[in-house]
Amino acid sequence: MINMARYASDPRASRGRLHDEGRTEIDSGIRGPRDDFQRDRDRIIHSISFRRLRHKTQVFVSPDGDHFRVRLTHSLEVAQIGRTIARALGLNEDLTEALCLAHDIGHPPFGHAGEDALEEALADHGGFDHNAQTIRTLTQLERPYPRWQGLNLTWEMLEGLAKHNGPVSKPTWALDEANSLMDLDLNSWPSLEAQIAAVADDIAYDNHDIDDGIRAGLLSIDQLVTLPFIAERWEDICDRFPDIEPDRLVFELIRDQIGLMVNDVIETTQKRLSESGVTTADDVRAAGMMIGGFSETMAVKERALKKFMYANLYNHPEQLEAADKARIVVADLVKVYREKPSLMPQGWAHSLPSAEPERIRHIADFMAGMTDRYASKCHHAIFG
């Protein structure tokens, strides 16, 4: 708080929470001396949906290897990068960290393959979007408190999750539903903390997915150095460590890449803040542009890396085969739960709405909360 910049989000100036928590244990000090954004972060960490991320796909579906990343470890890595950038820029580190930790909570099992299956299942009922599902999970499906649904997060937290990639002109049904309860000002830009959380996500998965791809044998250094900016970095690393075998230098490449991207974001964001004349958090939202992010030069390189990763890792034949199987698992389960809802756990089956679209959305809520291994277990139990 002491070194925060004026354009940072200040918990003392928060727009509040949907439910007034009144004089509870919070006021008495029983639950510790934390501000609102610290509480948001802690509520995420202690949530059931956050714990489930440890068994949800990041790159590889239900990875057999203990060393591959999952949604949980990815979220922790994003938080580390986000917090580093936030500190350098004088932003609120707790809000940035909370946004980073929560950003993937709405992902269903099997990553984008599972999301595609749910999108198809809900095609006639508003579709499925993991970002909006994150907010739905945190505002309705999590229920640790006796007097309200959800985690009762601050406006700034929900706003950042809703529009970390910029203004939302056409919200999905789930986001529109959340916005009707608490106006998130969807047409404006988000806080700098949310902008930094978004770019930290890009930095983390762009580089850590390289590590996982090489570890799985689906990527090689020879492929990577076809990208000029990777080749330049790799040549420099080999010159610095001429007596070290290449396999051990992959980690150095990833560290260097992350460092270059982080430094670029810090320098670029500082420059844009200076040029735009932004001085307050409200100025950030009214700036009409994304202030926190890559320079144009780095953005071009980052897009080239993403294109490479899609061509060589995400759309690798082995990955596509696994994704096809995963889509079948999710699609089969949605279909059987629609036909025989009694196969769902008792609480979910008893609370199933009788009319559409609420009925299929309820099933999607159940499905989206599944981990990879639980979805596989349910499918095996029903279909063999």
DSSP string, 52-120: HGGGSBSSSSS-SSTTS-BHHHHHHHHHHHHHHHHHHHT--HHHHHHHHHHTTTT--TTHHHHHHHHHH
- Grouping H, G, I as helix, E, B as strand and the rest as coil, residue 154 is strand
Length of the chain: 384
E strand segments, 186-336? none
Closest listed residue to residue 93, CA positions, set 15, 226, 192, 202:
192
Q: Which residues pair with 17 in a beta bridge?
A: 154
Looking at the whole model, is its pTM more than 0.75? yes
Q: Where are the domains of the chain?
A: 35-319, 334-383
Q: Residue 353's pLDDT is what?
A: 96
What tens-digit pLDDT sequence spans the chain (384 residues)?
558 999 999 999 999 999 988 765 555 566 778 999 999 999 999 999 999 999 998 888 766 667 888 999 999 999 999 999 999 999 999 999 999 999 999 999 999 999 999 999 999 999 999 999 999 999 999 999 999 999 999 999 999 999 988 999 999 999 999 999 999 999 999 999 999 999 999 999 999 999 999 999 999 999 999 999 999 999 999 999 999 999 899 999 999 999 999 999 999 999 999 999 999 999 999 999 999 999 999 999 999 999 999 999 999 999 999 999 999 999 999 999 999 999 999 999 999 999 999 999 999 999 999 999 999 999 999 998
Q: Residue 66's pLDDT is what?
A: 78
Q: What topology is assigned to 35-319 in CATH?
A: Hypothetical protein af1432 (1.10.3210)
| Residue appearing with tokens 């954004």 | 37
> CB of 78 within 8 A of CB of 198?
no
Q: Residue 111's pLDDT is what?
A: 92
